[in-house]
Amino acid sequence: MAIPQSFLDELVARCDIVDVVSSYVPLTKRSGSNRFGLCPFHSEKTPSFSVNQDKQIYHCFGCGKGGGVVNFVMEMENLSFGDAVALLAKRVGMTVPEDDVPLETRRRRQRMLELNRDAARFFHDCLSAPEGEKAVAYLKKRGITRKMVTRFGLGAAPDSWDRLMNAMEKKGYSQAELLDAWLVTRNQKGGGLHDTFHDRLMFPVIDVRGEVVGFSGRTLGDDDRKYVNSHDTLVFSKSRQLFGLNLAKKTKSGRLILVEGNIDVVTLHQAGFDGAVASLGTSLTPEQARLLKRYSENAVIAYDGDAAGVKAAQRAIGVLEKTGIGVKVLKLPPVTDEHGDPVLDADGRPAKDDPDSFIRRRGAEAFSLLLEKSDNHIEYRLSAIRAAHDLETDEGRIAYLAEATGLLSELDSAVEREIYGARVAEAAGVSKEAVANELRKAFRRRISARKKKEEQAMQRVSANIQPADRAIRYDDPQSAAAEEGVIRLILLDQSLLASAGTLEPSEFTSPFLAKLFDELKRRKREGAAITPAAVAAGLSPSEAAQLTVILGKPESIAGGERAMADYIEKIRSRKLSGQADLLEVAQRLREKKGYGG
Ligand SMILES: [Zn+2]
């Protein structure tokens, strides 16, 4: 786990925080020394997440998270310190000295990947054996070719409870290893073991490096759980994987297509839409959205046409939008018969397609046309709002206008507001000017609300000296304010460390601030980097966040030496008055005793 300090300092110096953060979060242009963006760690509509290029730190005025580039990647990718360092090193072409991950963990990971690959091979081989008949019949019914079966490594889990377990044990894997990889499960009652996947069409989940990290199985029998996915293991996290991304990442189409089911992914790839991926049965997570963004600037949501699909699409739009990826939504038309009349489903409602059924009925060409004319997400949301109101009535029109202008006022582009505003006006049967007027008002309201919120957040941060985390709360806030000042001055101008003279960490009242001061002195002695980002790299999330709060408070370096002297005097006089208080208390206690005795 020991990564050499010099390596870490150089890595932090080479990874510009604005570069790294903006590959996850769209940032505004510089305003003062800060750039702002929507915080990736809490949900918000107006940006309170700031990145300071000079200090190489980030800080959120909303949720209080903050730190340097290493802290950001740890938080963002949910990685350990060592893994975050490795990821950043890869980014700038540095090699981490090898001993960051314990050997035992590396060995267990490697072994689990081998087991997964062997299990995938076992499932795949079952397709050519009698126990794979059901799966083969299903694939045939879906029109999936041999080529696709090979490309995706599809397979069959037999209608048995121990075939996989036996085959893998024969290959030398232990029951514990099978359990860890979630390939076998313990019975609830007896405690015996059985295969996790049984009587299912198997989709291996292959990560972008080409490793089989988990499995997704579609029911072929009477189990009414349509899909069963691997639980999280040492090598698999469902919320961070997308089915099909190992192939889709190579698409030349310039867009990824997000669908609901694994089978849709296979069908789309077969029809030539090689950017299709699926989110493994969960609704799209922020981690998955960021993964998408890493491989493409554009995403099209092509969920099922039923009510659940529409709802999931609305949710996915919000998650994708936060990454700054261009989002469009493909609308599958209602199913019609050869006369163009709507076909009804069993409940008497218009039948809805999913991408797979649409392509099978209408062909790839028709899907391609839909893809080309898919709405951008604003149009999609506007039409959803429109569908929710009866525009024949005055009340309906008023409610529609209110909701639609509310949505449009969130657009930062004046041109977009005008274009969509005109469309809303037409739909509601009112003048363009009236809508434009409403929009201007709503937009101004939103801007001033945003400003107010930012100001309040700034005030909160400076008014309350106490760290958010109770573990590092200050016993003596007055002294701590001065101790913070010492740290802040040195990090703004390291030559001021000399002005701290004989001040010792032991004179600090806050153990956290004393630790920081000690670290700064140590770095000075060893000639290591004295920058906020380098220091933050070694801190816990709440400590790093507090460091950014400290650095965010106003300070003038112009009179740095004078300020340093003032802070030191404050620390020492608080200490004296603290001792005086103690003496007084002791004296009073003695007196009391005297009277009593
Ligand atoms: Zn935040």
Task: Please tell me whether residue 593 adopts helix, strand or coil conformation.
Answer: helix
Distance 66 CA to ligand 1 centre (A): 9
pLDDT digits 0-9 by tens, 547-558: 988 888 877 767
pLDDT digits 0-9 by tens, 330-339: 888 888 877 7
Residue that wins the pLDDT comparison between 117 and 210: 117
- pLDDT band at residue 596 under the 50/70/90 scheme: very low
- pLDDT band at residue 274 under the 50/70/90 scheme: very high
Take residue 538 and report the two structure tokens written for it: 């070694």
Yes or no: domain 102-235 corresponds to CATH 3.90.980.10: yes
Distance 235 CA to ligand 1 centre (A): 29
Distance 527 CA to ligand 1 centre (A): 34
Q: What is the pTM of this model?
A: 0.62
Residue 281 pLDDT greater than 80, yes or no: no
Distance 27 CA to ligand 1 centre (A): 14
Mean pLDDT of all residues in the chain?
A: 86
Predicted confidence at residue 595, as pLDDT, reads 45
Distance 130 CA to ligand 1 centre (A): 55
Q: Strand order of the sheet with strand 49-52?
A: 34-37, 49-52, 57-60, 66-67
> Which residues pair with residue 329 across a beta bridge?
301, 375
β-strands 256-259, 298-301: how paired?
parallel
Assigned CATH topology for domain 5-91: DNA Primase; Chain A (3.90.580)
Distance 43 CA to ligand 1 centre (A): 7
**Residues of the chain with pLDDT > 90: what percent?**
34
Residue 529 pLDDT greater than 50, yes or no: yes
pLDDT digits 0-9 by tens, 217-268: 999 987 778 889 999 898 898 888 999 999 998 888 889 999 999 999 999 9
Residue 504 pLDDT greater than 70, yes or no: yes
Question: Residue 281: how many CB atoms within 10 A of its CB?
Answer: 16
Cα separation of 229 and 208, whole Å? 18
- Could you name the CATH architecture of 237-370? 3-Layer(aba) Sandwich (3.40)
Distance 530 CA to ligand 1 centre (A): 26
Distance 258 CA to ligand 1 centre (A): 27
- pLDDT band at residue 1 under the 50/70/90 scheme: very low
Distance 51 CA to ligand 1 centre (A): 12
Distance 382 CA to ligand 1 centre (A): 28
Mean pLDDT of 132-139: 94
Indicate the helix (H) or strand (E) that contains 214. Answer: strand 212-219
Distances (CA, A) of 562 to 475, 479, 484, 557: 26, 17, 15, 9
Domain boundaries, the chain: 5-91, 102-235, 237-370, 378-462, 470-595
Q: In CATH, what number does 470-595 get?
A: 1.10.860.10
- pLDDT band at residue 33 under the 50/70/90 scheme: confident
Cα separation of 56 and 15, whole Å? 9
Predicted confidence at residue 130, as pLDDT, reads 93
Distance 38 CA to ligand 1 centre (A): 8
Residue 434 pLDDT greater than 60, yes or no: yes
Q: Which residues contact 270 (CB under 8 A, 6 or more apart)?
A: 144, 145, 147, 148
Predicted confidence at residue 145, as pLDDT, reads 95
Cα separation of 251 and 83, whole Å? 28
Distance 37 CA to ligand 1 centre (A): 10
pLDDT digits 0-9 by tens, 168-200: 999 999 999 999 999 999 887 767 899 999 999
Predicted confidence at residue 583, as pLDDT, reads 62
Distance 47 CA to ligand 1 centre (A): 9
Cα separation of 247 and 265, whole Å? 10
Residue that wins the pLDDT comparison between 324 and 10: 10
Distance 50 CA to ligand 1 centre (A): 9
Q: Using an 8 Å Cβ cutoff, are 359 and 268 in contact?
A: yes
Distance 542 CA to ligand 1 centre (A): 13
Distance 68 CA to ligand 1 centre (A): 15
pLDDT digits 0-9 by tens, 395-418: 999 999 988 998 888 787 788 888
